[in-house]
Amino acid sequence: MATHLPVQRPREQLHEAITATAEDIAALLHGADPAARVPDSEWTIGEAAAHLALANELMADLAAGAERPYGDGTPGSLAEANADSLAAYPERAPDALAGAVVEHARAFVAAAAGRDPGAPVLTPLGPMDLDTLGSYLLTHMLGHGWDLARAVRRPHMADRARIELCLPFLIAAMPRVVDPAAVGGLTARYTIGLRGGPRYGARFEAGVLTVTPGADPRPDCTIITEPLTFLLIALGRCNPWAAIARGRILAWGRRPRLAPAFPTYFRAP
């Protein structure tokens, strides 16, 4: 007789991905040199690991219903909050921080599992529901996990399944991280998405962005990106021009010249 395994619900997948990603990061940290520099960053491995431990603790507290103000959502205020929190937290030993990263990720999952997934939460990037906060936590860990993997020269943990679980946060955050100076009064309609995955409509009206599920019915430009490249560009860790040159971004439509400028309309926090 065939055995039918239960189908995982998206929330279960998210919580498993959060825990697994924290454990993967911990594996990278064990035995690492805390003073080694993280490529393309001002932080050392010890500082990046401490930031992750603190961020995971913050997210776990928010999931439990605590109020934890942390900047005002602008890149400058978040950078200042990061610096202040690191200055107040002297631990830099990678092995100890590996344990803290996992501990707080598990605390987040335990707290979130007992609450309504649609419960409103005030986060460093503004209000969002609890499951979107979980997507935020996963996105944050994957970004810094990618950095740490580069620092220790080991494989990263950002696969397609985990990246797709980041989309609820990335899509929710897009209108909040628009750079008004770069966008100006732009009016344009985009379809954006992952290669072989979900697509979204992104419509600028006089510089104001609205993002909706599903492809735009009449896009000026469609941009489809390889999943890891999508994540890294969203987090400010990949040059879009280089990605286009390597064929990791495909674009077409009535106004294909809109494609290269699209990533420049946002400032990663």
pLDDT digits (tens, 9 = 90+) for 74-131: 888 999 999 999 999 999 999 999 999 999 999 999 999 999 999 999 999 999 999 9
Given a cut of 80, whether residue 3 has pLDDT beyond it is no
Residue 267 confidence (pLDDT) = 87
Take residue 48 and report the two structure tokens written for it: 């990046």
Averaged pLDDT for residues 226-248: 91
| pLDDT at residue 206, as a whole number | 98
Lateral strand order in the sheet of 249-252: 208-213, 199-205, 188-194, 221-225, 249-252
Q: Please report the pLDDT score of residue 10 as a whole number.
A: 86
pTM of the complete model: 0.94
* Mean pLDDT for the chain overall: 94
Query: What is the pLDDT at residue 74?
Result: 82
Q: Is the pLDDT of residue 266 over 80?
A: yes
Residue 219 near residue 187 (C-beta atoms within 8 A)? no
Reported as a single tens digit per residue, the pLDDT across 131-186 is 999 999 999 999 999 999 999 999 999 999 999 999 999 999 999 999 999 999 99
Q: Distances from the Cα of 106 to the Cαs of 9, 18, 20, 39, in angstroms?
A: 18, 8, 10, 28
Would the pLDDT of 53 be above 80? yes
pLDDT value at position 170? 94
Query: What pLDDT score does 8 carry?
Result: 57
All domains in the chain, ordered by first residue: 10-166 (1.20.120.450), 178-265 (3.30.1050.10)
Does residue 72 surpass a pLDDT of 90? Answer: no
Q: In this model, does residue 4 exceed pLDDT 90?
A: no
Share of the chain above pLDDT 70, in %: 97
pLDDT at 258 over 90: yes
Residue 241 pLDDT: 84
CA atoms 108, 110, 111, 114: torsion sign: positive
Q: What is the 3-state secondary structure (H, E, C) of the chain?
A: CCCCCCCCCHHHHHHHHHHHHHHHHHHHHCCCCCCCECCCCCCEHHHHHHHHHHHHHHHHHHHCCCCCCCCCCCHHHHHHHHHHHHHCCCCCCHHHHHHHHHHHHHHHHHHHHCCCCCCEEEECCEEEEHHHHHHHHHHHHHHHHHHHHHHHCCCCCCCHHHHHHHHHHHHHHHHHHECHHHHCCCCEEEEEEECCCCEEEEEEECCEEEEEECCCCCCCEEEEECHHHHHHHHCCCCCHHHHHHCCCEEEECCCHHHCCCHHHHECCC
Residue percentage of the chain with pLDDT more than 90? 87
Q: What per-residue confidence (pLDDT) applies to 240?
A: 86
Amino acid, res. 17:
A
